[in-house]
Amino acid sequence: KQHIEQQLQELKQRNEELEQEKAKLQDPKTIEGVAREELGLVKPGEVPYVK
């Protein structure tokens, strides 16, 4: 029983972390950051900079 309760607590914590990440990823600024950093996208008229 102790083991199951511990697993339940861990899953609740992970669920909370995922809910926070979900909320963050719905923010337009975060979406733009991911598009720029991870996908290398640029807005029309911008000059891309490659590192």
Integer Cα distance of 49 and 32 in angstroms: 16
CA distance 2 to 47: 58
pTM of the model: 0.60
* Residue 48 vs residues 3, 29, 41: alpha-carbon distances, Å: 52, 19, 8
Which tens digits make up the pLDDT trace of 1-43?
A: 899 999 999 999 999 999 999 999 999 999 999 999 999 899 9
Backbone angles phi, psi at 32, to 5 degrees: -65, -40
